[in-house]
Amino acid sequence: MESKVFVQYNHTDPCAFARWTTKESFQFMSARPWQQVIDFYSDVVKGQKPLSALLGTSCLSKNRIYNSVECVNSQNRGGRWARLTFKIVVSYHGGSFDGWQKQPDLYTVQSVVEQSLGKFVDDKKAQMLKDKGLPLEGAATVAGRTDKGVTALNQVCSFYTWRKDVQSQDIAEAISSAAPGKLRTVSVTEVSRVFHPNFSAKWRRYLYIFPFNDDEEDREQSNETGENTQKFKINDNHYEHEVVPDKCNGENVGNLIITDDVEFETEKKPRMFSVSRVNKLLQKLEGKLLSYKLFARDTKASRNEGPPTECFVFHARAREYRLPCSEHEKGRRVMCIELVANRFLRRMVRVLVATSIREAAAGADEDALLKLMDATCRRATAPPAPPDGLCLVDVGYEEFDPLDCLISKE
């Protein structure tokens, strides 16, 4: 039987031999009690638990969560301004849907929302859909699509209609009743027709919950720098999915190692990382406009160079918390990562999370994430972390307030 060939990025820094391979990183991130994180997000979506049950009193103020957008009164308006535009904020459980975007034969958030909006479309559009043999559905424009498994607490979308009798409360009730326990309407407000959920947004906020295992050493240890660390064990039998490396062009071949050795002496690599080290790695990204093309996945070639890959990170922090769960009296130990930026590339948050943990375990310098941006291939970064821990907390339409964060800078 032929051995499988793996292609790895040739890191040349002093931590090269301590850094996990793609497979090792995937195993480490996957072998976690994700179900407890999934259940917690489900309780938050249902309104049974507040996010502050995890993050404490420092959680966001309500006036910031429900970002105010100019409300309008369309009465006595004519012409193109007579159209009613609604800003719809919804909360949904990622584990219950196949992502946001509507896709054939898949149960997605967009398909459920648009089916609910069908009863509010105007007669002209209803007739047009009927003539084309299409179902009676409204069109929802979203602030940003989420992948399968990713939860959203305040996802923003918009819907417009020429009907004058549509009320915000009617829309809210229609959406909430479409998938009880999975999808909930947070708010519906009438806004100016110039409002666009995506283009009008000034920032997005994501939260990632990384849970620790029960069999991982529970006592804190100190490394040579005096930081608290945590020792981990990898379950070698947990790897169930094939890792398919990204394609690289001829310019990248010189930075790759092709090997038939599958194991890479896993047991000799460090399995300890400090939450504070992850925090310091992420802090280096704050206040900078950088190209995150190496931290993106599945993007079009036309969006892999220049401004389309540039993002400005306002806030990036990591801290340890206790996740409320019935299996642990004091709660499960978790690391929460908060990222706020003007925009995010596809799977960028999940790659940042996995890479920052990998670099912290390898003992890389605090500017390791910045140095990785100069690499020549996406294999230099870790594979995306599981979607189960990711949550879109909210989308902002006002200037970002650095004092109003989930995880403070203290």
pLDDT of residue 78: 56
pLDDT of residue 11: 77
Residue 187 contacts residue 89 (beta carbons within 8 Å)? yes
Residue whose structure tokens are 């890959």: 309
Task: Looking at 17-122, list the stretches that DSSP marks H as alpha helix, in order from N- to C-terminal side.
Answer: 22-30, 34-46, 52-55, 62-65, 109-117
> What's the predicted TM-score (pTM) here?
0.85
**Domain 70-199 belongs to what topology?**
Alpha-Beta Plaits (3.30.70)
Give the dihedral of Cα atoms 387, 288, 312, 282; nearest 10 deg: 20
pLDDT of residue 304: 59
pLDDT of residue 253: 38
Residue 292 token pair? 């995150």
pLDDT of residue 222: 39
pLDDT of residue 289: 95
pLDDT of residue 267: 61
Q: In the 8-state DSSP scheme, what is residue 328?
A: E
Rounded Cα gap, residues 133 and 141, in angstroms: 22
Question: What is the distance between the terminal CA atoms of the chain, rounded to a whole angstrom?
Answer: 55
Rounded Cα gap, residues 291 and 56, in angstroms: 33
Q: Is 287 helix (H, G, I), strand (E, B) or coil?
A: coil
**What one-letter code names the amino acid at 251?**
E
- For the chain, the domains span 14-41+207-243+253-396, 70-199
Q: In the 8-state DSSP scheme, what is residue 232?
A: -
Pairing of strands 151-161, 141-142: antiparallel
The listed CATH number (3.40.50.2300, 3.30.1360.70, 3.30.70.660, 1.10.10.10) that belongs to domain 14-41+207-243+253-396: 3.30.70.660
φ/ψ of 92, rounded to 5, equals -145, 155
pLDDT of residue 44: 95
Residue 401 token pair? 């307030």
Residue 108 contacts residue 101 (beta carbons within 8 Å)? yes
Residues of the chain with pLDDT under 50: 1, 62-67, 74, 76, 217, 219-254, 256-264
Rounded Cα gap, residues 332 and 136, in angstroms: 46
- HSE-CB at 188 with a 13 A cutoff on CA atoms is 22
pLDDT of residue 242: 36
Buried b (16+ CB within 10 A) or exposed e, 226-245: ebebbebebeeeeeeeeeee
Residue 206 contacts residue 317 (beta carbons within 8 Å)? no
Evaluate whether 14-41+207-243+253-396 and 70-199 have a shared fold: yes
Distances in Å between the alpha carbon of 364 and those of 23, 261, 314? 19, 24, 23
